[in-house]
């Protein structure tokens, strides 16, 4: 049986008249002068999207992309060019640009490529041709019917099925020769409900690196419809959210976007190598309450943020970032690991061949504790119970971060009472992590919908956490 590298190189290199054996000489040509690392990143991607609106699927699109990125590194200096034509001539043109920033042209040494043995965390197949367009459309139409049947207040239903497939091949001067096949599917539902002239939205979604048989189930359709409609109906009755500092109880799962912003970005190797993160130089120090253990794990099977190998060909890992409140390590790509004299952690990721890799998160979550959500709520006299969130953002230098609640409730005298309008929560990473007073026993990962943006590059990620009680957080309401 041919290896994965062989199969993928036939698929990606074949159309441009290249074969696997051409990679060693092409990579060797990058090893000149002061260049201490260089790589070729080949990619072939396709994606399909079907959108439901007004009870019909009128809009659908297909997208294909292929190309090669050529990078050289010398110290912290990177040269980069890419081409959407994968031919030897284009690779050499890109090479000339990529070495232009580096000193010296003397050929260094020939590179011997060695195949990385790739784990199998998810199915290595393309989900797009798995089902007919008619079946995909029928599934979305059923969601519309289900949502409208769920409540007469539902005015609009939108649902989107996104299916993508990516093959990557990496050859580097450190001898790395790796390939990965990455399916990624996602289903999302958004509804608009109206009552007495007031309109509110609710939404829900799920997905991961798996096939369509697993995604397009009746159970998933029912769950998403139910969550989206319930959220819209709850928001129809929401009252103004209070403003100011108060205790906040976060539900488990997607609210883990808190960790992504408050901790995750600040622990990415590039910011710490440059000393620009609030967490720079704090390894070994207490940065969160005792009992808080935060992990970034790219090895979870079928997860949206998982990778068999990262985009530099490094096998992905489970990396503990904070252990029992103590900062133990950063997330690294090869360049920053080399400059900080530590091992890469499998976090080198890039949006595509047309982007440079950076240290990025995979699936970031907090380990569970032993408290219950009921105990947390009953311990709050006046505060907020936040169940669902939109996105967040962080300033990694000051440590200031935000995340926006899309479904939240008041807690009054230990009881969950009225739903409140969506509000932004703001805090300072380490201060908020140190204000965690209770950690739930109910760890949950998000349903597979996260997208992380950094320096203009988007990559799929996962987040997760148990229910948490944070003693003090600023809530951006109007009341």
Site for another protein in 29-68 (CB under 8 A): 53, 56-67
Q: Closest distance between another protein and the C-beta of residue 421, in Å?
A: 5
Neighbouring residues of 84: CB distance < 8 A, sequence distance ≥ 6: 65, 66, 67, 354
Which residue shows structure tokens 């509000």? 423
Specify the residue, 301 or 478, whose C-beta has the smaller distance to another protein. 478
Token code pair at residue 126: 């393309």
Q: Closest distance between another protein and the C-beta of residue 120, in Å?
A: 29
Q: Closest distance between another protein and the C-beta of residue 369, in Å?
A: 26
Specify the residue, 125 or 274, whose C-beta has the smaller distance to another protein. 274
Q: Closest distance between another protein and the C-beta of residue 309, in Å?
A: 24
The CA-based diameter of the chain, rounded to the nearest angstrom, is 76
Q: What is the 3-state secondary structure (H, E, C) of 221-289?
A: HHHHHHHHHHHHHHHHCCECCCEEEEEEEECCCHHHHHHHHHHHHHHEHHHHHCCCCCCCCCCCCECCC
Binding to another protein (CB under 8 A) within 290-349 occurs at: none
Using CB under 8 A as the binding rule, whether residue 457 contacts another protein is answered as no
Query: How many other C-beta atoms can be found within 10 angstroms of the C-beta atom of residue 178?
Result: 26
Question: What does the per-residue mask of binding to another protein show for 88-127, with x meaning CB under 8 A?
Answer: ------x--xx-xx--------------------------
DSSP classification of residue 451 = E
Q: Closest distance between another protein and the C-beta of residue 41, in Å?
A: 14
DSSP classification of residue 402 = E
Q: Closest distance between another protein and the C-beta of residue 118, in Å?
A: 26
Name residue 44's beta-bridge partners: 66, 167
Q: Closest distance between another protein and the C-beta of residue 271, in Å?
A: 9
Which residue shows structure tokens 């939109």? 390
Specify the residue, 210 or 389, whose C-beta has the smaller distance to another protein. 389
Instruction: Choose, by CB under 8 A, the member of 88, 340, 342, 426 that binds another protein.
Output: 426
Instruction: Choose, by CB under 8 A, the member of 37, 41, 42, 82 that binds another protein.
Output: 82
* Stretch of 218-226, 311-319, 415-423, 444-452 lying at the interface with another protein (CB under 8 A): 415-423
Q: How far apart are CA 27 and CA 61, in angstroms?
A: 36
- Residue 19's nearest CA partner among 29, 11, 28 is 11
Neighbouring residues of 129: CB distance < 8 A, sequence distance ≥ 6: none
Specify the residue, 50 or 365, whose C-beta has the smaller distance to another protein. 50
* Stretch of 104-112, 130-138, 180-188, 437-445 lying at the interface with another protein (CB under 8 A): 130-138
Name residue 159's beta-bridge partners: 52, 189
Q: Closest distance between another protein and the C-beta of residue 10, in Å?
A: 17
Binding to another protein (CB under 8 A) within 2-21 occurs at: 15
Specify the residue, 124 or 192, whose C-beta has the smaller distance to another protein. 192
Token code pair at residue 429: 């990473």
Specify the residue, 210 or 278, whose C-beta has the smaller distance to another protein. 278
Specify the residue, 299 or 352, whose C-beta has the smaller distance to another protein. 352
Query: How many other C-beta atoms can be found within 10 angstroms of the C-beta atom of residue 4?
Result: 21
Instruction: Choose, by CB under 8 A, the member of 230, 315, 421, 437 that binds another protein.
Output: 421
Which residue shows structure tokens 């995909």? 136
Question: 332: buried, middle or exposed (CB in 10 Å: 19+, 13-18, 0-12)?
Answer: buried
Binding to another protein (CB under 8 A) within 376-405 occurs at: 390-393, 395, 397-398, 400-404
Instruction: Choose, by CB under 8 A, the member of 78, 222, 226, 457 that binds another protein.
Output: 78
Q: How far apart are CA 66 and CA 69, in angstroms?
A: 10
Q: Closest distance between another protein and the C-beta of residue 88, in Å?
A: 16
Instruction: Choose, by CB under 8 A, the member of 92, 105, 120, 198 that binds another protein.
Output: 198
Question: What does the per-residue mask of binding to another protein show for 157-176, with x meaning CB under 8 A?
Answer: -x------------------
Q: What is the DSSP string of 44-84?
A: EEEEEEEEEETTEEEEEEEEEEEEEEEEEEETTEEEEEEES
Coil, strand or helix at 92: helix
* Stretch of 176-184, 196-204, 214-222, 320-328 lying at the interface with another protein (CB under 8 A): 196-204
Specify the residue, 21 or 240, whose C-beta has the smaller distance to another protein. 240
Using CB under 8 A as the binding rule, whether residue 284 contacts another protein is answered as no
Binding to another protein (CB under 8 A) within 347-376 occurs at: 354, 356
428 Rama class: left (phi>0) / alpha (psi -120 to 50) / beta: beta
DSSP classification of residue 301 = T
Binding to another protein (CB under 8 A) within 222-261 occurs at: 241, 243-245
Binding-site size for another protein (CB under 8 A) equals: 77
The upper half-sphere exposure of residue 436, i.e. CA atoms within 13 Å in the direction of its Cβ, equals 31
């Amino acid at each position: 049986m041919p290896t994965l590298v062989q199969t993928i190189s036939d698929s990606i290199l074949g159309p441009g008249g290249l074969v696997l054996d051409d990679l060693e000489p092409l990579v060797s040509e990058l090893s000149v002068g002061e260049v201490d690392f260089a790589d070729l990143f080949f990619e072939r991607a396709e994606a399909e999207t079907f959108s439901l609106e007004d009870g019909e699927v009128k809009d659908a699109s297909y997208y294909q992309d292929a190309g090669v990125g050529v990078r050289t590194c010398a110290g912290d200096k990177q040269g980069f060019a890419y081409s959407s034509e994968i031919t030897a001539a284009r690779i050499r043109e890109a090479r000339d640009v990529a070495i232009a920033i580096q000193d010296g042209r003397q050929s260094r040494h020939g590179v011997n490529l060695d195949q990385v043995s790739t784990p199998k965390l998810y199915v290595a197949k393309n989900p797009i041709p798995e089902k007919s367009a008619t079946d995909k459309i029928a599934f979305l139409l059923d969601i519309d019917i289900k949502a409208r049947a769920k409540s007469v207040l539902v005015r609009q239903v939108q649902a989107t099925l996104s299916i993508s497939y990516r093959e990557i091949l990496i050859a580097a001067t450190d001898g790395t020769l790796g390939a990965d096949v990455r399916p990624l599917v996602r289903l999302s539902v958004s509804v608009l409900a109206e009552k007495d002239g007031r309109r509110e939205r609710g939404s829900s979604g799920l997905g991961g690196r798996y096939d369509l048989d697993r995604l397009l189930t009746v159970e998933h359709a029912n769950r998403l419809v139910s969550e989206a409609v319930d959220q819209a109906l709850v928001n129809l009755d929401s009252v103004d959210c209070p403003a100011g500092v108060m205790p906040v109880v976060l539900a488990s799962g997607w609210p883990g976007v808190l960790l992504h912003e408050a901790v995750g970005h600040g622990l990415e190797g590039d910011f710490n190598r440059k000393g620009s993160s609030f967490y720079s130089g704090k390894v070994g120090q207490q940065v969160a309450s005792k009992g808080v253990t935060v992990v970034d794990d790219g090895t979870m099977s079928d997860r949206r943020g998982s990778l068999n190998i990262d985009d530099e060909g490094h096998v992905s890992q489970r990396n503990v970032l904070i252990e029992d409140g103590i900062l133990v390590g950063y997330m690294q790509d090869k360049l920053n690991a080399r400059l900080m004299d530590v091992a890469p952690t499998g976090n080198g990721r890039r949006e595509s061949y047309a982007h440079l890799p950076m240290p990025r998160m995979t699936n970031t979550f907090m380990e569970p504790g032993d408290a219950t959500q009921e105990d947390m709520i009953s311990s709050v006299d006046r505060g907020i119970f936040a169940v669902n969130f939109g996105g967040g953002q962080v300033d990694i230098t000051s440590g200031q971060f935000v995340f926006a609640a899309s479904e939240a409730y008041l807690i009054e005298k230990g009881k969950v009472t009225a739903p409140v309008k969506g509000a932004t929560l703001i805090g300072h990473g380490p201060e908020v992590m140190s204000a965690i007073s209770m950690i739930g026993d109910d760890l949950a990962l998000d349903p597979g919908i996260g997208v992380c943006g950094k320096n203009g590059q988007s990559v799929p990620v996962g987040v997760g956490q148990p229910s948490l009680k944070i003693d003090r957080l600023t809530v951006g309401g109007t009341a």
